[in-house]
Amino acid sequence: MVSGKLQEAELQQLGKRIRDEILMLPEVSQATLGAIRPAEFSIEVSEQTLRQYGLSFQKIAREINNNSLSMPAGSMKTDKGEVLLRTFGQSYNRDDFARIPILKQDDGSFVLLGEIADIKDGFEEEQLEATFNGYQSVIIEVFRLGDQSAIEISQRVKNYIAESKRFLPPGVTLNVWRDRAKIVQGRISTLTSNAIQGAVLVFILLTLFLRLSVAAWVCAGIPISFLGALAMMPELGVTINISSLFAFILVLGIVVDDAIVTGENIYHHLTLHNDPEKAAIEGTHEVGVPVTFGVLTTVIAFIPLLSIEGRRGQMFESIALVVIPVLLFSLVESKCILPFHLKHLKVASTETGGGSALQRLQARIDGKLKYFIENIYKPTLELLLEHRYSTLCGFIGIFIIMMAMTAGGHIRFVFFPKVESESIQATLTMPVGTPYAVTKKHTDRITRIAQELQTEFVDPESGQQLITNILVINGKVDSMGHPQSNVGYLRISLLPPEQRNLNWTGHEVVTEWRKRVGSIPGAEKIYFKSDIFHGMTSPVEVQLHGDDFKILSLAAQSTRALLEQIPGLYDIEDTFEIGKEEVQIKL
């Protein structure tokens, strides 16, 4: 984000220079400028001048088109090979246009465009303005392409920003805005910490009930399975992204299930005859079928995620293409690698008073577990099996109660949960054709309210602000890149949760922001977004059908007025657009 006290042309020129320098970085392949008006040359010729030289606008435009262009001119074959030819005559600045010949006079001299026209180097008439913390700004967006690493690109750009700040003009700042690589880094950190915690917990639990060496070899299956999945990711077209990292975190808790069952059964056979190799073979073979089908049923549960279409399908596909290989590699590890390691086990003495302190602790825990199995679990299981029909009816009854609670709304269904974002967005849409000044007046008011919130949501002791930056775009461009005078866009960034000493949340900020803004006269819609998945689905939708647009418009207004009276409903909008006003002339 480039912002400061510069004129629009100077700021754009500086933004283009910074963009070009970023593109020269080895890790960066694509960077674009955003929130800028396209450059435009306006050429004005007075009517008197046209009559004096016998010209017309059509002739002037034709001469400009013929003299301001670059085009290929074929090729030339030489002894050293074929050489391509190209003519360069495209005009890029005011002086280039001023030298274009428009009319040849009788004495052989030319009348140049600069002699008869007023050439202005400016921008398109459509208004577009971006401000960052109150200063005019230019947005530079850096993208990752193909297999490029978002983390490496982010770090390289940050290093460039730190180095370039010394050469910026006075009053100009260069800041990082919306670093998506932070999310990936956060997921990697979460995955690493969860993996360590999970491995430690599994290791402790298995050590308490089994042998120390059994616990160690079972935990070794986690990195083996993950490395196998990582090796398959390039072949499956999966990269390390938010979805794939979430999949690794998801599968972390179930990846060692088959190894735990296999390792425990091998240890059980070892205690029976104290023959490690025989115990490894018999223990693995005995639970081979149930363990295999247990893993395969979990794999089958994730296969439907591969058939989801659309943008959501791409996200869920990455999850399935990570979980399935991890589970399959864990199955191979538990059947082929783990038994080979466990065949070297030996049963140590665990008699009372003998062995180490750990072995005595294992013996006491094993005794309590056997007591629970023989005196509580086994009698309960025998009772349920003896009255199996009553047991079946009981579970069916519980199932019916759960379905009734879901149908009655006691258990809510939400396709995507509310996950708080580190930024809050507000989008104002006025009717098509609304003057830029009218839209800007409303966005300025919304901005002032955001600035008030920035001064209010502050920790009184440390002075820490919850709202860090405010971005405002008046005339936000549409999907075709054209500025829309009727659209205003605001985005405020919040302090990351891990850095906050505050008790406030983004939901509290957006609620207060929405409340203070209230309704805007004449606005088609205004909605606020503070959740990551907000806007992907609408909780309430009403569809109106009809052939008369006037009646549909009145019905939409009445329906909207009724919905606005219902507590808890907000950001109400309708898709009916009247369009720009039109004057029809009949000759």
Q: Which of 181-190, 260-269, 376-385 has the lowest mean pLDDT?
A: 181-190
Cα 295 to Cα 255: distance, rounded to the nearest angstrom:
9
Residues 367-391 have a mean pLDDT of 92
At residue 427, the pLDDT reads 92
User: Tokens 């932070």 belong to which residue?
Assistant: 182
Per residue in 201-242, pLDDT (tens digit) is: 877 877 787 677 787 888 888 889 999 999 999 888 888 777
Cα 94 to Cα 115: distance, rounded to the nearest angstrom:
13
At residue 535, the pLDDT reads 53
At residue 577, the pLDDT reads 66
Q: Measuring CA to CA, how many Å separate 175 from each of 155, 162, 234, 415?
A: 13, 9, 34, 36
Residues 179-193 have a mean pLDDT of 77
Q: Per residue, what are the HEC states of 97-162?
A: HHCCEEEECCCCCEEEHHHHCEEEEEECCCCCEEEECCEEEEEEEEECCCCCCHHHHHHHHHHHHH
Cα 87 to Cα 85: distance, rounded to the nearest angstrom:
7
Reduced to 3 states, what is the DSSP secondary structure of residue 530?
strand
Helix, strand, coil tally for the chain in percent (to 5): 50, 15, 30
DSSP state, 487?
A: E
Residues 107-118 have a mean pLDDT of 88
CATH topology of domain 40-123: 3.30.2090
pLDDT class of 351 with cuts at 50, 70, 90? very low
Residues 93-99 have a mean pLDDT of 86
pLDDT over 90 at 396, yes or no: yes
Q: 174: phi > 0 → left, psi -120 to 50 → alpha, else beta; which?
A: beta
Domain 420-564 classification at class level: alpha beta
Is the Cα torsion angle 258, 259, 262, 263 positive or negative in sign? negative
Cα 570 to Cα 534: distance, rounded to the nearest angstrom:
13
Per residue in 554-577, pLDDT (tens digit) is: 888 888 888 878 887 777 777 766
At residue 183, the pLDDT reads 75
For 147, the token pair is: 């297999």
Instruction: Write down the mean pLDDT value for the chain.
Output: 84
Cα 387 to Cα 585: distance, rounded to the nearest angstrom:
87
At residue 453, the pLDDT reads 92
Calculated CA dihedral for residues 85, 91, 97, 103, nearest 10 degrees: 30
Q: Measuring CA to CA, how many Å separate 533 from each of 110, 417, 419, 530, 538?
A: 64, 8, 7, 9, 11
Per residue in 132-177, pLDDT (tens digit) is: 998 999 999 998 887 778 888 988 999 999 888 778 888 898 988 8
Q: Measuring CA to CA, how many Å separate 298 from each of 33, 251, 258, 292?
A: 46, 10, 12, 10
Q: Which residues pair with 120 in a beta bridge?
A: 42
Residues 541-548 have a mean pLDDT of 83
* 347 vs 73, more confident: 73
Calculated CA dihedral for residues 454, 457, 459, 460, nearest 10 degrees: 90
- Tell me the percentage of the chain whose pLDDT exceeds 90: 23
- Tell me the percentage of the chain whose pLDDT exceeds 70: 94
At residue 454, the pLDDT reads 92
> Smallest Cα–Cα separation from 470: which of 137, 8, 172?
137
pLDDT class of 352 with cuts at 50, 70, 90? very low
Amino acid letter, 288: G
At residue 180, the pLDDT reads 81
pLDDT over 70 at 118, yes or no: yes
At residue 123, the pLDDT reads 81
Cα 475 to Cα 130: distance, rounded to the nearest angstrom:
9
Per residue in 472-528, pLDDT (tens digit) is: 999 887 767 778 888 999 999 988 877 777 778 888 899 899 999 988 888 888 888
Per residue in 2-59, pLDDT (tens digit) is: 998 888 888 988 999 999 999 998 888 889 988 888 888 888 999 898 898 888 889 9
CA triple 580-585-587, angle to 5 deg: 160
* 81 vs 585, more confident: 585
Residues 311-324 have a mean pLDDT of 85
Give the burial class of 67: count Cβ atoms within 10 A of its Cβ; 0-12 exposed, 13-18 middle, 19 or more buried: middle
The CA radius of gyration of the chain, in Å to the nearest whole number, is 35
Q: Where are the beta strands (DSSP E) in 156-291?
A: 172-174
Note whether 59 and 45 are within 8 A (CB): no
At residue 538, the pLDDT reads 66
Give the burial class of 233: count Cβ atoms within 10 A of its Cβ; 0-12 exposed, 13-18 middle, 19 or more buried: middle
Note whether 168 and 38 are within 8 A (CB): no
Residues 281-302 have a mean pLDDT of 91
CATH topology of domain 183-347: Multidrug efflux transporter AcrB transmembrane fold (1.20.1640)
Cα 539 to Cα 409: distance, rounded to the nearest angstrom:
14
